[in-house]
Structures are given as structure tokens and as C-alpha cells.
């Protein structure tokens, strides 16, 4: 290398910016209100100040939703310039209502404040039901975070009242020197929608997938993205309204219709109709031959199964699983599962028909089912949430189905509550967090997938705990779309659901709505507080936990109270309901609040029950209040 070449090489090293990812993708962790940035800048707060400039112009994507469905309303919510917002979205009348779920480009001024970038906005609380969590996730559509709101405002999370004005830091960022060097002028904070990937987003905004991946700290160009979470899109020019879309919910495919050609009586049109008729006849014959061929193949397959017991994967089930290749769902062979569980030995049985297995270098749970699991797989392909169990793969063998799930080290919630020797069982904080996890999973199921789904089997046995005692809802075999079930009578099948968790309208009329999950969740809350099962025996008498607690708190059958308390005065006090393992005598108010919340969930009329997002807000307040009181309630923490 000559002197000139060496000099050019050294200059290139000096002027090339340090290669550093813009930000780290926060996944779903930003939804957790309990995090702290004491460990340094975290993606669960806002984007960190590592850009070339301390202040810059940036853009956000906001989806139009009432009452924030006009340029003026959105500009007020985000503190953005209404004239700029109208210009960039090509809107002439700022008061005109925009279509629901229409993407709106919001220009903001992004400033470095401390460790984090933010665009400042303000929000006046309109409802007593508002919490830091709902404001960040629902009102601002995850363009802010619960943690950032709590950090920015002095109001205690439990003292938020209508009329309070909050300072709202919105997620934004300025390009790093490396991004600027590569032509990036603006960063767009974009909310990922269902089924979207980095290549899909990059193609829409006419940028490279590599630059989008780099901007969010990914090492690959097509990483897994979680719906309703924000990512950064680097842009060389301002975004355009032509790049925005309306997020229509998925619907039925459009009907195909053939154009009707008027008949004029000429020979040419008659001849055309003759040829069309011949074409249709040929098509029908081809279809008939194809159907006969499929029937023949099916008969041959059935003979193979009956004769040789050969492993085959039913076509419809295979298609359902194969559609999930993009999210890593694997089709296992039966021999793999057999080897992983040591031929489904008793020592690997986790209970019922669930086995522990060692596959692909990790411990997984393998569930054997005798009924068709296609519907369950179809649902699990739609969901992606920390508090819902993850499906890794599936298999069909000799008309049995095998689903492979993540392994939950602490088993079911029901079994955990029975472990009196477990050091975490007396912890009130763990029980509140478990309740929050279940509510968060249901909130996702009821409100963040289309159409909404009803689990129909919420119980302490269908809630599993991982090694950190974080709860995940499992067993989606009964789950169905709320829309499909709305007019279907399901009363003939209610015996499949665990007794003690059944909502009255489901028992009497087979009515399936999200309210039946709220009812069952109310029973699980009671189990967490009392330590008792939903249905238990006392002196040979079968007792419904919900009825007994209702009685204790002011109504119902006195005999049930007597049984629950184990004898004595039927006019018992609420403190007699609390699980003695909790030793909660110094912080009874939290347990009573949980009981009252559970009783609200157990209202006889479904319309009288709170929605799951209201339950979630109430639990967040209880958790925050518990944290505040932990220093003088050490016996329950």
C-alpha cells in the first residue's frame, strides 16, 4: 500500500462514525409499569439520547380514534403544529373527522431531556378510570410509556383525578452520526400492526430493511416484531400521506362475479356463449376427476394408517401449522416427541396428558390431545403476548394431536397455592402480580386481536407460572371468537368448563361474551386471596367459593359462610377469608380491595361486571399502593 492509499484509509477511519445501533427494541416490556431506570437508560422508558443532535424534527404515526379523529384533536393531544400536521397529511379542513384507524403523520420537535429523547405533550385527565398505564397504551397508543409518565409527573399513581394535567413525553429520536452519514434525515416512530414485519414496513416507506433493523438494534433484517409496539423508521425525506393506510379489520373475501354481457342476437355473441358453455363443462369434468382422485388418495391413506400405523399429518392440520413457519412454529415428528419424553414415561408426566420433554436444546411441555387441535393452533397463531402461553410446534399421530409449549417451571397456580413450604407463597406482592398478569392476558385477548376471543376456560389450573412466578394463561382448547359464539347456544358443552367458574348466563342460556371470562377471573382472584379452591369440600359438604364469599361480605346463604369459616358465628368478618399463609393482618385493606374487585367481577348480570381494562386499572392501583406501603407491611411482601 503506497503512502496516499494509507492516508486515505486512515482518513476514512477517522471520518467514519462509530458503528452503534440507534436504539434497542423494547418488545412488550414497555407495558410493565413497575420498571425503573436505575440501571441506566432503558428502552422501556423512552429512546436514549445518542443522536448527532440534541434537538431535531421527528415524526410519529398515530391511528385516528374517537375522540382523537381530526387534525385539530390530534394536534392538541400531541402538542404538534396543526398547520404542519394538516399539510403533511394533505387535509384541507382541520376539524373534519378522519376515517377510524386511519394513520396520521404527526410532526414533532424532538429534544434531548436528561438521558432520553422526548416530544413534550400535555393531557388533562377526563375520567377517574384513567391510569398511567391506560393513558400511555390506549390514549397515546404506546407512543409514550407508563414508566415515563410516572417519572415525568409528581402525582401518585393512586391519586390521579379528573382535571389533573399530566406532562406526556412522546417517543421520538434524532439520527445518530452514522445514520446521518448514510443519508438519514428524520426518524419516524411507527406503531407495528398485526402481521407486519421489518421488510413490510421498510418497503412501504421506501427504505432498506437493513437500515430499519439497525435503527432498532436488530442483528438480522427480518426479526420478530410484536403488534402494537413502536419501532423507528429512518427516512431520507419527510414521510408522505401517500404512505399512510387505513387499518381495516380482516373481513370475508370479496365475492367474485362474472360480468354480464347484453345479448344482441348476433352470431358472434351466440358463438361466444357456446364456447363459454363448453369451457364450463370442461372445468366441471376436471373438477369431478380431481375430487375422485382426492377420494382415492384419502382411502389409500386411511388403509395405511389402519394397516401399518404409519405417521401422517392430516392435510388441514398441516396447512394450519405450515402457515406459521414465519413465526417459528415447527411441525415435529412423533418419534422426536417420543424420544424427548422417554416414550411418554410417568416420570416425565406433569399432570394429566402433559409431559416434560427436552427438544432443540431446551425443556418444553408436550400436551397430548385426542380431539382436533386445529382451532387451538389457529388462535395461537394470532396471539403474541407475554401473559399468554407460547406454542412452539405441533404434531399429529394416529389421530392424536400433540402441541409443544414453553415450559412453566412452577406449574399451575392451583398447585402453587397449595405449596405451604414454598417461600414465595406468603408473598402478597407475588399474588397481586399474578392477578395483574392474568388480567393483562385477558385484556389482550378481548381487545387487541380481531375478532375478540373468549377463553371460556379461565381457572387456577389453566394459569401457569414460570420460574419468576409470572403468570401465563394456557389451555385454549375451548377458546372461540366472540363474534362466532354470539348467537350459538353452548349450554350443552358447559360441563367441559371447570365447575365453580361458570357465569350464570353461560349455564342458563349458553351465552358467550368476554363477560364470562371476567366472571371466571373474579373466582381466580378469590382463590388468590383466600387460598381455597373454587369448589371445595368442608365436612363432606361441597361449597362454591364465590357463594361463600358473597355471603361473608353481606348476603347469600349463611350456611355457606359457616362452612367456609370452619364453624362458629355465621356473621364472620372479611379478615376470616384471608389465606392464613399470607399473614396479612397489618395490611388488610389491600386484601379487602381485592375481594371487592372480585365480587364486582362476579355480578350476576354480565352488564354489571367491569370490563377487563377496568379490572386491570384497579389492580395496577392496588399494586402501586402495596409498593408504597411495603415498608410498614413487611409481613406480606
User: CA-CA distance, 268 to 523, in Å (whole number)?
Assistant: 74
Rg (CA), the chain: 29
User: CA-CA distance, 533 to 498, in Å (whole number)?
Assistant: 11
3-class secondary structure, 253: coil
pLDDT digits over 425-439, tens only?
777 888 999 999 999
Interval 417-427 mean pLDDT: 77
Is beta strand 391-397 parallel, antiparallel or unpaired with respect to 330-331? parallel
Residue 59 pLDDT exceeds 80:
yes
What percentage of residues in the chain have a pLDDT greater than 70? Answer: 75
- The residues, ordered by sequence, that sit 6+ positions from 622 with a Cβ below 8 Å of its Cβ are 432, 590, 593, 594, 597
Q: CATH fold of 413-629, please?
A: Transferase(Phosphotransferase); domain 1 (1.10.510)
Lowest mean pLDDT among 78-87, 146-155, 561-570: 561-570
Question: 108 and 172 in contact (C-beta within 8 Å)?
Answer: yes
pLDDT band (50, 70, 90) for residue 562: very low
**Mean pLDDT for the chain overall:** 79
Higher pLDDT, 559 or 411: 411
The whole-number pLDDT of residue 260 equals: 37
- The per-residue DSSP string of 463-509 comes to EEE-TT--EEE---SS-EEHHHHTT---GGGGGGSPTT---HHHHHH
* Residue ranges of domains in the chain: 17-243, 315-406, 413-629
pLDDT digits over 295-344, tens only?
666 565 554 444 333 333 444 554 454 454 344 578 899 999 999 999 99
Interval 447-451 mean pLDDT: 82
Q: Which of 68, 70, 54, 159 is nearest to 115 (CA)?
A: 54
Q: Which of 474, 501, 492, 495 is nearest to 404 (CA)?
A: 474
Lowest mean pLDDT among 96-100, 154-158, 348-352, 488-492: 488-492
Residue appearing with cell numbers 378510570: 129
Q: Which three cell numbers stand for residue 543?
A: 361449597
The most confident of the ranges 77-91, 218-232, 365-379, 617-631 is 77-91
User: CA-CA distance, 384 to 326, in Å (whole number)?
Assistant: 13
Helices 514-530 and 588-601 sit at what angle, rounded to 10 degrees?
Answer: 150
Q: Which of 576, 514, 509, 566 is nearest to 537 (CA)?
A: 566
Superfamily of domain 315-406: Phosphorylase Kinase; domain 1 (3.30.200.20)
Q: Which three cell numbers stand for residue 7?
A: 492516508
pLDDT digits over 234-262, tens only?
999 999 999 999 887 544 433 333 333 34
In this chain, the answer to whether the domains covering 315-406 and 413-629 adopt an identical fold is no
Residue 209 pLDDT exceeds 80:
yes
The whole-number pLDDT of residue 36 equals: 63
Residue appearing with cell numbers 419516524: 188
381's enclosing H/E stretch is: none
Burial degree of 582 (CB within 10 A; 0-12, 13-18, 19+): buried
Residue 441 pLDDT exceeds 90:
yes
Q: Which three cell numbers stand for residue 20?
A: 452503534
User: CA-CA distance, 229 to 227, in Å (whole number)?
Assistant: 6
Residue 380 pLDDT exceeds 50:
yes
Neighbours of 96 (CB within 10 A): 12
The whole-number pLDDT of residue 572 equals: 45
The whole-number pLDDT of residue 227 equals: 78
User: CA-CA distance, 632 to 611, in Å (whole number)?
Assistant: 33
Asked if omega into 451 is within 30° of 0 (cis), the reply is yes
N- to C-terminal Cα separation, the chain = 68
The whole-number pLDDT of residue 176 equals: 93
User: CA-CA distance, 52 to 182, in Å (whole number)?
Assistant: 13
Residue appearing with cell numbers 433493523: 213
Burial degree of 128 (CB within 10 A; 0-12, 13-18, 19+): exposed
DSSP one-letter code for 461: T
What are the phi and psi torsion angles at 218 (to 5°)?
-85, 150
User: CA-CA distance, 336 to 340, in Å (whole number)?
Assistant: 6
Interval 504-528 mean pLDDT: 93
Q: Which three cell numbers stand for residue 2?
A: 503506497
Question: 105 and 233 in contact (C-beta within 8 Å)?
Answer: no
Question: 511 and 505 in contact (C-beta within 8 Å)?
Answer: yes
Question: 20 and 50 in contact (C-beta within 8 Å)?
Answer: yes
Residue 57 pLDDT exceeds 90:
yes
The whole-number pLDDT of residue 273 equals: 61
pLDDT digits over 466-480, tens only?
999 999 999 998 888
433's enclosing H/E stretch is: helix 428-447
User: CA-CA distance, 213 to 276, in Å (whole number)?
Assistant: 52
- Does this model's pTM top 0.85? My answer is no
pLDDT band (50, 70, 90) for residue 128: confident
pLDDT digits over 137-169, tens only?
889 998 998 888 988 898 887 678 888 999 999
Which long-range CB contacts under 8 A does 79-86 form with residues at least 24 apart?
Answer: 79/108, 79/119, 79/120, 79/121, 79/122, 80/106, 80/107, 80/108, 80/119, 81/107
3-class secondary structure, 312: coil
Amino acid at each position: 500500500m503506497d503512502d496516499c492509499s494509507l492516508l486515505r484509509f486512515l482518513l476514512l477511519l477517522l471520518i467514519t462514525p462509530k458503528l452503534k445501533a440507534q436504539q434497542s427494541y423494547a418488545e412488550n416490556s414497555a407495558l410493565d409499569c413497575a420498571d425503573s431506570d436505575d440501571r441506566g437508560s432503558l428502552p422501556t422508558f423512552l429512546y436514549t439520547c445518542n443522536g448527532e443532535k440534541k434537538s431535531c424534527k421527528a415524526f410519529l404515526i398515530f391511528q385516528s380514534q374517537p375522540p382523537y379523529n381530526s387534525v385539530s384533536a390530534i394536534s392538541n393531544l400531541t402538542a404538534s403544529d396543526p398547520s404542519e400536521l394538516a399539510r403533511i397529511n394533505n387535509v384541507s379542513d382541520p376539524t373534519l373527522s378522519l376515517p377510524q384507524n386511519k394513520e396520521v403523520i404527526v410532526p414533532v420537535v424532538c429534544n434531548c431531556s436528561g438521558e432520553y429523547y422526548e416530544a413534550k405533550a400535555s393531557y388533562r385527565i377526563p375520567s377517574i378510570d384513567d391510569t398511567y398505564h391506560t393513558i400511555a397504551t390506549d390514549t397515546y397508543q404506546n407512543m409514550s410509556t407508563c414508566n415515563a409518565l410516572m417519572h415525568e409527573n409528581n402525582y401518585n399513581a393512586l391519586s390521579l383525578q379528573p382535571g389533573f394535567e399530566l406532562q406526556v413525553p412522546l417517543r421520538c429520536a434524532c439520527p445518530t452520526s452514522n445514520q446521518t452519514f448514510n443519508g438519514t434525515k428524520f426518524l419516524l416512530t411507527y406503531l407495528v400492526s398485526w402481521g407486519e414485519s421489518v421488510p413490510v414496513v421498510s418497503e412501504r416507506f421506501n427504505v432498506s430493511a437493513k437500515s430499519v433493523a439497525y435503527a432498532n438494534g436488530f442483528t438480522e433484517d427480518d426479526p420478530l416484531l410484536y403488534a402494537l409496539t413502536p419501532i423507528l423508521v429512518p427516512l431520507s425525506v419527510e414521510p408522505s400521506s401517500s404512505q399512510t393506510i387505513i387499518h381495516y379489520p380482516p373481513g370475508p373475501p370479496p365475492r367474485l362475479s362474472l360480468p354480464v354481457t347484453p345479448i344482441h342476437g348476433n352470431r358472434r355473441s351466440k358463438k361466444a356463449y357456446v364456447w363459454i358453455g363448453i369451457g364450463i363443462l370442461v372445468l366441471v369434468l376436471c373438477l369431478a376427476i380431481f375430487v375422485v382422485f382426492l377420494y382415492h388418495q384419502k382411502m389409500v391413506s386411511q388403509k395405511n394408517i389402519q394397516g401399518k400405523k404409519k405417521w401422517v399429518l392430516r392435510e388441514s392440520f398441516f396447512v394450519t401449522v405450515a402457515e406459521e413457519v414465519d413465526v417459528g412454529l415447527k411441525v415435529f415428528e412423533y418419534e422426536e416427541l417420543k424420544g424427548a419424553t422417554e416414550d411418554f414415561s410417568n416420570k416425565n408426566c406433569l399432570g394429566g396428558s402433559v409431559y416434560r420433554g427436552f427438544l432443540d436444546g431446551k425443556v418444553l411441555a408436550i400436551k397430548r390431545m385426542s380431539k382436533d387441535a386445529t382451532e387451538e393452533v389457529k388462535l395461537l397463531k394470532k396471539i403474541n403476548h407475554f401473559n399468554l402461553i407460547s406454542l412452539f410446534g405441533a404434531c399429529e399421530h394416529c389421530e392424536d394431536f400433540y402441541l409443544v409449549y414453553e415450559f412453566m417451571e412452577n406449574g399451575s397456580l392451583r398447585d402453587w397455592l397449595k405449596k405451604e413450604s414454598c417461600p414465595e407463597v406468603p408473598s402478597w406482592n407475588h399474588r397481586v402480580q399474578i392477578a395483574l398478569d392474568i388480567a393483562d392476558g385477558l385484556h389482550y385477548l378481548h381487545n387487541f386481536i380481531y375478532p375478540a376471543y373468549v377463553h371460556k376456560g379461565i381457572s387456577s389450573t389453566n394459569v401457569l407460572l414460570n420460574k419468576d412466578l409470572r403468570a401465563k394463561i394456557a389451555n385454549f382448547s375451548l377458546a372461540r371468537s366472540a363474534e362466532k359464539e354470539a348467537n350459538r347456544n353452548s349450554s350443552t358443552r358447559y360441563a367441559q368448563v371447570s365447575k365453580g367458574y361458570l357465569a350464570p348466563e353461560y349455564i342458563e342460556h349458553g351465552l358467550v361474551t368476554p363477560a364470562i371470562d371476567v366472571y371466571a377471573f373474579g373466582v381466580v382472584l378469590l382463590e388468590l386471596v383466600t387460598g381455597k379452591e373454587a369448589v371445595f369440600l368442608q365436612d363432606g359438604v361441597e361449597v362454591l367459593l364465590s357463594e361463600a364469599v358473597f355471603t361473608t361480605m353481606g348476603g347469600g346463604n349463611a350456611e355457606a359462610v359457616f362452612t367456609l369459616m370452619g364453624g362458629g358465628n355465621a356473621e364472620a368478618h372479611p379478615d376470616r377469608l384471608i389465606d392464613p399463609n399470607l399473614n396479612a393482618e397489618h395490611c388488610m385493606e389491600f386484601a379487602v380491595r381485592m375481594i371487592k374487585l372480585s365480587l364486582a367481577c362476579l355480578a350476576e348480570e354480565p352488564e354489571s361486571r367491569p370490563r377487563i381494562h377496568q379490572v386491570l386499572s384497579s389492580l395496577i392501583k392496588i399494586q402501586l399502593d402495596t409498593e408504597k406501603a411495603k415498608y410498614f407491611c413487611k409481613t406480606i411482601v
